[in-house]
Amino acid sequence: MFDGPVRERGVPSGDQVVVVTGAAQGIGAATLAAFAESGATVAALDANATALTATVASLAAGGNAVTAFPVDVTDESALTAVVADVERKLGPIEVLVNGAGVLRTGAAADMSTADWAALFAVNATGVFLASTTVARYMIPRRSGAIVTISSNAGAVPRAGMAGYAASKAAATMFTKSLGLELARHGIRCNVVAPGSTDTPMLRGMWPENRDPGEAIADLVAGSPTDHKGGIPLEKIALPRDIAAAVLFLASAEAGHITMQELLVDGGAALGG
């Protein structure tokens, strides 16, 4: 679930079309809400059709222009068809937000090949497929913005998260490299790298009976045993904090910013 609207100056207006992947919950849902409530026409993509329908229905009930397009970002043919459908039904895509992501944790030496493949399929290949598919529409129009939601784990080693960190590092560098290639076409590509954020994904890492307050306190304090620093701002992020950064990088106010990685982690990576 998202946790309320985010309103920023310079965000897309009602005649602009925004695509958000991973839009059913967490940061993706907050980003979807932020764009929709700022007046954009938004295509919401997610593999979880049930959760996506519920999220979109909630926003649409408030008069927002949001349409659900259930799709798995790892399915190239299905994704290609959905992007074409968005262009046909909603209009030219001007912003893509790569929000789809999965998490697998555990010691690297114990990680299965299946878990490694699942992480890269969504977190890296999904970003590649969505970005290149949408970019092919943007290039002839010489306009557009792509924002990938990565992780500060893509820049700072994390014990028990080797596969996740590697997949996010791949997504980050792909997005920056794509930005270099697309700059001549007037298309900007940037990365938002969250730290610990209060989402179902984060809470899913905690033992079933773990007190949320204690779990958050531990994240804030850090873990010397795992060589993990704490969070200088002494709090974890809310999904809307990440959404605000995405909206800024997609906006006209960031019109001269490309190939950048914006850490939104309360200082956890010490500036990365």
197-217, pLDDT tens digit by residue? 999 888 888 788 889 899 999
pLDDT score recorded for residue 7: 40
Q: Is the pLDDT of residue 38 over 50?
A: yes
Quote the CA–CA distance of 28 and 84 in Å, as a whole number: 21
The overall average pLDDT reported for the chain is 93
99: domain CATH number is 3.40.50.720
In a domain, 11, yes or no: no
Tokens 């028990």 sit on residue: 160
Q: Rounded to whole angstroms, what are the CA distances from 11 to 57, 246, 250?
A: 22, 10, 7
In a domain, 247, yes or no: yes
Number of separate domains in the chain: 1
User: In sequence order, which ranges of the chain are alpha helices (DSSP H)?
Assistant: 26-37, 49-60, 76-89, 113-120, 126-141, 162-182, 200-203, 212-221, 239-250
In a domain, 223, yes or no: no
In a domain, 212, yes or no: no
Q: Report DSSP state, residue 237.
A: B
Q: With bands split at pLDDT 50, 70 and 90, how would you rate the model's confidence at 14? A: low
Give dist(CA 15, CA 150) in Å, integer. 28
DSSP labels, 87-127: HHHT--EEEEEE-------S-GGG--HHHHHHHHIIIIIHH
Global pTM value: 0.93
Among residues 164, 195, 241, 244, the one annotated as catalytic is: 164
227 domain residue, yes or no: no
157: pLDDT strictly greater than 80: yes
**Residue at 259 is within a domain:** yes
* Beta carbons within 10 angstroms of residue 224's beta carbon: 9
Residue 3: inside a domain, yes or no?
Answer: no
115 pLDDT exceeds 90?
A: yes
137 is catalytic: no
Q: Mean pLDDT over residues 41-69, rounded?
A: 98
pLDDT at res. 25: 97
Domain, as residue range, for 79 = 17-199+240-264
Categorize the per-residue pLDDT at 149 as very low, low, confident or very high, splitting at 50, 70 and 90.
Answer: very high
Provide the token pair at 188: 């900007």
Asked whether residue 125 is domain-assigned, the answer is yes
